[in-house]
Structure 1
Amino acid sequence: MLKVNEYFDGRAKSISFQSATLPATVGVISPGEYEFGTNKRETMTVLSGVLTVLLPGMDEWMTYGAGEFFEVAGQASFKAKTDVDTAYLCTYQ
């Protein structure tokens, strides 16, 4: 079953689904700066656009483009910013 999720007054939206192997979401983040929280371990792959993130325990922002991914531990938070609409796929473990 598909479920639509909306965050930050609609500036980030995703659709939850069950992939062949893991629960997942696919979504779009509008330009801006955000802080996301995680429940489970997440692997986030940028599908289009560019996402710059500050991961837990890191001092430097890292930039990820289309086809690149990063991981975030469960029960954590990370900051993300983008200047363009950015699409992503996120899987949860």
Structure 2
Amino acid sequence: MNVNEYFDGKVKSIGFTNSEGRVTSGVMQEGEYEFGTTEKELMKVVSGTMQVKLPGEGSFREVPAGQEFRVDANEKFQVRVDEPTAYLCFYS
């Protein structure tokens, strides 16, 4: 397992690989973040709510617990969270 920390410790994740491929499980504290991708990502919100602005979208949209979104490789996307929010991210 790999432990990662971003944005001065406000985003933390644990990365692992299993039969589904490479995955990270993490938590974001309240704040606004911009992430860059190097491969395709499927992000599933498991607790809390994210506001996301994906490439090509003009505004943020809400992604609550139980929903997901995809981001292509080599893209940037923005995330806002108003409370601690947990996610799973699958890479392909």
Is the pair's TM-score, using the shorter chain for normalization, greater than 0.5? yes
* Large movers: runs of 4+ above 4 Å: none
Could you list the runs of 5+ residues in structure 1 that have no partner in the other structure? none
Q: How does 1:7-86 map to 2 (within 5 A)?
A: 7-86=6-85
Q: Percent identity?
A: 46
d(CA) in 2 for partners of 1:54, 1:43: 15
TM-score (norm 1): 0.96
Q: Deviations over 1:22-66 (max 9, x none)?
A: 200000000000100111000000000000000001102111111
Aligned residues: 92
Gaps of 5+ in 2: none
AA partner of residue 87 (structure 1): A
Amino acid at match of 1:92: Y
Q: Give TM-score, length-normalised by structure 2.
A: 0.97
Task: Report the RMSD for the aligned CA atoms in angstroms.
Answer: 0.6
CA deviations over 1:65-90 (Å, ceiling 9, x no partner):
11100000001110000100000000
